[in-house]
Amino acid sequence: MNKRFKSLAATLSSVLLTLLGLTILTFLIGRVMPVDPVIAAVGDNAPEDVIMRARAEMGLDQPLPVQFLHYLGQLLHGDLGVSVLTKNPVAQDIARFFPATFELATAALILAVVIGVPLGVWAAVRQGSVTDQAIRVVCLAGHSVPVFMLSLISLLVFYSALDIAPGPGRQDIIYDGMIDSVTGILTIDTLISGDFGAFRDALAHMAQPVIILAYFSMAYIARMTRAFMIDALKGEYIITARAKGLSLTTVIWGHAFPTVAVQLVTVLALTYAGLLEGAVVTETVFSWPGLGQYLTLSLMNADMNPVVGSTLLIGVIYVGLNLFADILYQMLDPRVRS
């Protein structure tokens, strides 16, 4: 018990230290970047007295350590500050933007896993065959073609030429303002509202960005699965299982895959974290109002509270998913448990 408590305490303190480091780093970057946040707030043409007043109101006339301590104090009270751009508390903005990214990332990850893992296994089992080569080419393309290009081509083909997909945005204009935001996840909110037309519209709008993000992630997941599986298939326990006369399917999914699954946990956690971080380019091309777009817009306008707040959230996501992966690792791998 004591050992477990110590381990938990060590993990927690490491998490806290990581977050503190992230806060200091982001805060400093925000303050030393060669853009005056006051100008971003009041405009380049604002008179000098207005600029001075705004600088004082934003606390930027204080020494840097005082500014940081003040920010840290706010943070400990759960206050991420107010966005200059939206005039909303940053926490409120994040609560609005993050669900859009969460919806996109989660759907993309599910699709990527459902396709990528079997594809990787298939390629490994048929290593060196035409199938393997074909899968490798598809994966290589997915990982090397820039996402913005895929997004634009997708819009051009499926939206513009074939007319089978909706355009950029999260929903059609006819549903604008008609769905109450309960969870912020539009597919769920439309279901809650009972408007199935809006639900179908939301699904249709998700399709393209989800497929593109899924393709990008799938390529990585399939490649890693293939590599792990090739290694696993070389194991003596696999040869033994085959010698015992077990079917190939049983050997692959019953014996080899559990080993691969352990390694895949980390890959999937990091892929999900990457997606949640905000697929900036995809969100930009598809006008998807998610965390990536919020972060970019804030950064471009030197609106630093949202930048620090969003970065912290991303940090928490990374740390959280890493922790989750560690826990899952322990559950799946008896060697780690022991």
Q: What share of the chain is helix, strand, coil (3-state, %, to 5)?
A: 75, 0, 20
Strand, coil or helix: 82: strand
User: What residue type is 166 in one-letter code?
Assistant: P
Of these, 58, 80, 85, 262, which contacts another protein (CB under 8 A)?
A: 85
Output the smallest distance, CB 176 to another protein, in A. Answer: 6
42 lies in the binding site for another protein (CB under 8 A): yes
Q: Would you count residue 59 as binding another protein (CB under 8 A)?
A: no
Closer Cβ to another protein, 174 or 243, answer by number: 174
31/53 with CB nearer another protein:
53
| Closer Cβ to another protein, 47 or 128, answer by number | 47
Q: For residue 255, give the 3-state DSSP assignment.
A: helix
Closest CA to 213 of 317, 111, 94, 99: 111
Based on the shown chain and the rule CB under 8 A, indicate whether residue 310 belongs to the binding site for another protein.
no
Q: How far is the CB of 256 from another protein (least distance, A)?
A: 21
- Binders of another protein among 182-211, rule CB under 8 A? 197, 200-201, 203-204, 207
Region binding another protein by CB under 8 A among candidate stretches 46-54, 120-128, 138-146, 328-336: 46-54
Amino acid found at 141: A
Report the residue from 84, 219, 251, 321 that binds another protein according to the rule CB under 8 A: 84
Q: Which CB atom, from 1 or from 174, has the smaller least distance to another protein?
A: 174
- Can residue 145 be called a binding residue for another protein (CB under 8 A)? no
> Which amino acid, residue 235?
G
Beta carbons of 179 and 171 less than 8 angstroms apart: yes
* CA dihedral sign of residues 43, 47, 51, 54: negative
Q: Is 177 in the site for another protein (CB under 8 A)?
A: yes
Q: How far is the CB of 13 from another protein (least distance, A)?
A: 36
CA angle, 150 as apex, 145 and 155 as ends, to 5°? 170
Q: Per-residue DSSP letters for 285-325?
A: HTT--SHHHHHHHHHHTT-HHHHHHHHHHHHHHHHHHHHHH
Q: Is 89 in the site for another protein (CB under 8 A)?
A: no
Q: Does residue number 87 form part of the binding site for another protein (CB under 8 A)?
A: yes
| 44, 78, 194, 243: which one binds another protein (CB under 8 A) | 44
Q: Cβ–Cβ contacts within 10 Å for residue 202, how many?
A: 24
How many C-beta atoms lie closer than 10 Å to residue 54's C-beta? Answer: 19
Binding-residue total with another protein (CB under 8 A): 59
DSSP assignment of 127-155: TTSHHHHHHHHHHHHHHHS-HHHHHHHHI
Task: List interacting residues with another protein (CB under 8 A).
Answer: 34-36, 39-50, 53, 83-88, 93, 96-97, 152, 155-156, 159-160, 163-169, 172-174, 176-177, 197, 200-201, 203-204, 207, 284-287, 289, 293-294, 297, 300-302
